[in-house]
Amino acid sequence: MKIAVYAFDGASMFHLSVPHLVFDEVARSGAAPWQTSLFSEDAGSVTTSEGYALGGIEGLDSARDADLIVVPSWIQDGVAPSPALAELLQERHTRAVPIVGLCLGANALADTGLLAGRSAVTHWKSTEELARRHPEISVEPSALYLDHGDVMTSAGTASGIDACLHIVRTRLGSAVANRVARHLVVAPHREGGQAQYIERPVPADSSGGAIAVACAFALEHLAEELSVARLAEAAHLSQRAFRDETGSTPAAWVRSRRLDEARTLLETSELSVDQIAAACGFGSPVTLRQNFAAAFGSTPSSYRRRFGETRPASSPTKKSSPHRRTGRAERLGPT
């Protein structure tokens, strides 16, 4: 299989190296004669974001016989792909060549029209912007990667490794993907319970505004009943004002924060699921499990086995904590 990876001035060395790292290991291991190369608008060289010059870059025509095309990231200012690149991606797509957008590379696929009517994921910092610019796309900020067979997108930075391993798995099977992952010393298959590393939401307005007061009050009282009336009483605001400011209803916002706190406790404490349910205001462990599975595709116990740390039992904490969740993925191209 020939894999063509798009390179451009300003791309990071990490993003450019991920497809090479994973797919070249397939060839090195003798599993399949895969060949990975970099191409750009013009043959020659590109300058990475770190200031290094990379030579040996091929031109657009070199990707016209590729079996897979990867856009590993994208230009930070979000400019649309050049007409030449857009034409290449569209033409290859019509010929059943899978197109992959890793991290911000989803923006290039979106601007080219390949994601219209589809679900997609990108780096968590860019999800709102992608959704605003492309309302025809269902942007899923919490997925790790999403595979539609002919197009695929992944979340931020390191999740590109997961996406590339998924491609190996769908083409060559789990045994080969596991062997490649073992050589790279990474998890061979991250499934339910993992999400992008997303900063835990906190009130944006630290000046004491009504929304900030309501959010701060909620975060300090997650174990208690937090009705719209109580939030309104705490900050003298209406449900409409809350929704306009946060982008969600008070109930949805509070539920999301409770789930954030539950993940934090699963990762950093030895509290039981029953105790965590009570500490986070879910009322019962059944309610916690139902909401957790609906949001993250995993049970609390499975999540803890993957991400939990061995620590003494502790009380709820408001300290920030990173989290991950996988997206739905079935296949990418023929096996």
Q: Tokens 């034409």 appear where? A: 87
Decide which of 325 and 37 is more confident: 37
Mean pLDDT, rounded, of the chain: 82
The answer to whether 70 touches 102, Cβ cutoff 8 Å, is yes
40 band by pLDDT with thresholds 50, 70 and 90: very high
Instruction: Report whether pLDDT(327) > 50.
Output: no
Q: Which of 126, 129, 92, 96 is nearest to 112 (CA)?
A: 92
Question: Which pLDDT does position 165 carry in this prediction?
Answer: 92
Instruction: Report whether pLDDT(193) > 60.
Output: no
Q: How many residues does the chain have?
A: 335
pTM recorded for the entire structure: 0.63
Which of 11-15, 105-109, 167-171, 217-221 shows the lowest mean pLDDT across its residues? 217-221
186 band by pLDDT with thresholds 50, 70 and 90: confident
Q: What is the mean pLDDT of residues 249-261?
A: 80
Q: Is 314 exposed, middle or buried (0-12, 13-18, 19+ CB in 10 A)?
A: exposed
Which of 62-76, 112-126, 189-203 shows the lowest mean pLDDT across its residues? 189-203
229 band by pLDDT with thresholds 50, 70 and 90: confident
Q: Which of 147, 151, 168 is nearest to 99 (CA)?
A: 151
Specify the DSSP element, H or E, that contains 38: strand 35-39
Please give the structure tokens belonging to residue 266. 């699963």
Instruction: Report whether pLDDT(164) > 50.
Output: yes
Instruction: Report whether pLDDT(194) > 60.
Output: no
245 band by pLDDT with thresholds 50, 70 and 90: low
Instruction: Report whether pLDDT(167) > 90.
Output: yes
Question: Which pLDDT does position 188 carry in this prediction?
Answer: 63
Q: Strands 151-154 and 145-149: what pairing?
A: antiparallel
Instruction: Report whether pLDDT(278) > 70.
Output: yes
Residues in CB range of 299: below 8 A, 6 or more apart: 193, 289, 292, 293
Instruction: Report whether pLDDT(332) > 70.
Output: no
Q: Which range is most confident: 34-48, 66-80, 148-162, 222-236?
A: 34-48
Please give the structure tokens belonging to residue 193. 């319970």
Radius of gyration of the chain (CA): 22
